Amino acid sequence: LKALHILGGGLAGLSLARGLAAQGIPVTVYEKIHYPRHKVCGEFITGLDRSTIDRLELGSIFKGALIHKRTAWYFRDQLLFRRTLPAPAIGLSRWTLDARLAASARECGAEIREGTGVIQLAPEHGESWVCATGVPRTSGRSSEGPRWLGLKAHFSGVQTTEDLELHLGVRAYAGLSAIENGRVNVCMLLDTRGHPAAEVHSLEKALHSVGLIALAERLKMAQADPASRVATAGMALTTPRQVGKVIALGDSLGMIPPFTGHGMALAFKSAARALKPLIAYSSGACDWSTARQSLLGQNTTTHNRRIRYARLLHPLLLLPGWQRVAAGFAASPVFPWRLLYGLTH
């Protein structure tokens, strides 16, 4: 059997490694940090289908996770509506989820090299290399610039009005999602254009800065876990060009806007799709370029279609003028929730 190498030990990389190792395939994951670790993420998973859960054998990984059924949306601290989600979502922290996946992948026989630091893919990383390094980064020189900032922290002592709360602020939104151990994850995505850096360097300050003052005050009464405070700047909400011979999975194919809560499911789905062609490659049943081509076709049609629709909707949740219109429409009984959910999940 040919060995496989996976750069990036997040959801796509670890679940793929676990699936390959379970088939006896030698696989190594290179991850720049150590587990467990906190990660900027809303920590609710929507649209993860039964067939992906079964193919990746994720059942035990989600043990103790919460099942979310209801959501409440707010516009500048004003309740817009409460609703049943089109499909139940899973609530589990990345601290627990990624660490469980890593431990289980090791038990299956995968080698996981933690704390490797940043490894850059080079042309010689061609055949047998999978890129699962997550959302690409932008620099000040790219057309998008270092525009998107993500902030998150876990809180105890916060009562949510529904399983999931979504708060629309000025060029920003924040999500509250109940996770294990009675905690609530608060996560925010912010367009830094128009928000000076000094005003957004902590979650509470950022909430104030984007007009979510009641939410910021509510969190002041709760206890934040200081170790869970993390931020990520310079995320690219564009689709990267796939170069070289590597196979890309999850966010490295392009990140779906976070409001959908579907990025993690897409990462798992891309890993599930990659299993069969990579097993075929490893066992010599096909060559690398055949395995890669079969995946490119599948990934571009399903993955990119959902991302395209979600990116069309994203400005409506962020731009002050559009937010008002979208929020009003979303609150109305004729709002096509199921249709939009179907297009983006």
Give residues in contact with ligand FAD (CB under 6 A). Answer: 7-13, 30-33, 40-45, 116, 118-119, 132-134, 150, 187, 189, 235, 250-251, 255, 258, 261-265, 267
Alpha helices in 159-318 (DSSP H): 203-209, 213-220, 263-282, 288-298, 304-318
277 burial type by CB count under 10 A (0-12 exposed, 13-18 middle, 19+ buried): buried
Closest distance to ligand FAD from the beta carbon of 268 (Å): 8
Compute how many other C-beta atoms are within 10 angstroms of the C-beta atom of residue 138.
19
| Nearer residue to ligand FAD within complex by CB, 43 or 191 | 43
| Nearer residue to ligand FAD within complex by CB, 93 or 323 | 93
| Nearer residue to ligand FAD within complex by CB, 133 or 192 | 133
Find, among 64, 220, 224, the residue nearest to 151 by Cα: 224
203 with 191: CB under 8 angstroms?
A: no
Closest distance to ligand FAD from the beta carbon of 94 (Å): 7
Closest distance to ligand FAD from the beta carbon of 285 (Å): 26
| Nearer residue to ligand FAD within complex by CB, 37 or 287 | 37
Closest distance to ligand FAD from the beta carbon of 334 (Å): 27
115 with 165: CB under 8 angstroms?
A: no
Closest distance to ligand FAD from the beta carbon of 148 (Å): 7
| Nearer residue to ligand FAD within complex by CB, 24 or 115 | 115
The DSSP letter of residue 91 is: E
| Nearer residue to ligand FAD within complex by CB, 119 or 331 | 119
Closest distance to ligand FAD from the beta carbon of 258 (Å): 3
The tally of CA atoms less than 13 A away on the side-chain side of residue 252 is 23
257 burial type by CB count under 10 A (0-12 exposed, 13-18 middle, 19+ buried): buried
Alpha helices in the chain (DSSP H): 11-22, 50-55, 94-108, 203-209, 213-220, 263-282, 288-298, 304-318, 320-331, 337-344
| Nearer residue to ligand FAD within complex by CB, 158 or 290 | 158
Closest distance to ligand FAD from the beta carbon of 10 (Å): 2
338 with 345: CB under 8 angstroms?
A: no
